[in-house]
Amino acid sequence: MKKLLIALVALTIACGSEKKNEEQAFMEELNNTEENSGPTVSEAVIGDILQQIPSPLEIAVLLKESGKKYNASLLNSPDNLPKYNSNYKKALNLGIYGADLGYTNIYEQNQDGIKYISTIKSLADGLNIGQFFDIETIGRLATNSKNLDSLLLITTQNFNAINHYLQTQNRANLSVLLLTGGWIEAVHIMCSVAAQDPNNKVLQEKIGEQKVILENIMLLLPFYKEKDQNMATLLEDMQELKKIFDRVNITYTYKESTFEVVNGVMVIKDNSTTTIDITPQDVMDIRNTTLNIRNKIIS
Partner 1 sequence: MKRIAIFVWTLVVLSAPDATAQCNSEALSNQCIPKLASGFNFLKSYKIDGEGGAKDKVEYSYVFTKGTQYMINICAPNQPTDGIVVTLYDSNRNKVATSKVNGQYISAIAYPCNATGIYYIQYTFDGSSTYCGGSALGFKR
Chain residues that interact with partner 1, rule: CB under 8 A: 3, 6-7, 10-11, 13-15, 22-23, 26, 48, 51-55, 57-58, 61-62, 65, 149, 152-153, 156-157, 160, 202, 205-206, 209, 212-213, 216, 250, 252-254, 257, 259, 261, 264-274, 276
Q: Would you say 57 or 81 has its CB closer to partner 1?
A: 57
Q: How far is the CB of 131 from partner 1 (least distance, A)?
A: 17
Q: What is the 3-state secondary structure (H, E, C) of 33-82?
A: HHHHHCCCHHHHHHHHHHHHCCCCHHHHHHHHHCCCCCCHHHCCCHHHHH
Q: How far is the CB of 190 from partner 1 (least distance, A)?
A: 12
169 vs 268 by CB, closer to partner 1:
268
Q: What is the spatial distance between Cα 206 and Cα 54, in angstroms, rounded to a whole number?
A: 13
Nearest-approach distance from CB 173 to partner 1, in angstroms: 21
Q: Which is nearer to partner 1, 156 or 230 (CB)?
A: 156
CA–CA separation, 139 and 132 (whole Å) = 14
Nearest Cα residue to 57 out of 137, 160, 143: 160
| 170 phi and psi angles, rounded to 5 deg | 55, 35
Q: Measuring CA to CA, how many Å separate 236 from each of 21, 151, 295? A: 53, 36, 15
Q: How far is the CB of 98 from partner 1 (least distance, A)?
A: 14
Please, which residue, 87 or 216, has the CB nearer to partner 1? 216
Q: Which residues pair with 260 in a beta bridge?
A: 267
Q: Transcribe 177-239 into DSSP letters.
A: HHHHHHHHHHHHHHHHHHHTSTT-HHHHHHHHTHHHHHHHHHHHGGGGTTT-HHHHHHHHHHH
Q: Whole-number minimum distance, CB 150 to partner 1, in Å?
A: 10
Whichever of 267 and 296 has its CB closer to partner 1, that residue is 267
124-158 burial, b at 16+ Cβ within 10 Å, e below that, comes to bebbebbebbbbeebeebbeeeebeeebbebbeeb
CB burial string 188-216: b at 16+ within 10 A, e below: bbbbebbeeeeeeeebbbbbbebbebbeb
Least Cβ distance, residue 171 to partner 1 (angstroms): 20
- From the CB of 272, what's the least distance to partner 1, in Å? 4
Query: Do 177 and 162 form a contact (C-beta atoms < 8 A)?
Result: no
Q: Nearer to partner 1 by C-beta: 189 or 213?
A: 213
Name the residue nearer to partner 1 (CB basis): 53 or 177.
Answer: 53
233 vs 258, which CB is nearer to partner 1? 258
CB neighbourhood size of 262 (10 A): 8
* DSSP 8-state secondary structure symbol assigned to residue 131: G
Q: What is the nearest approach in angstroms of partner 1 to the Cβ of residue 10?
A: 4
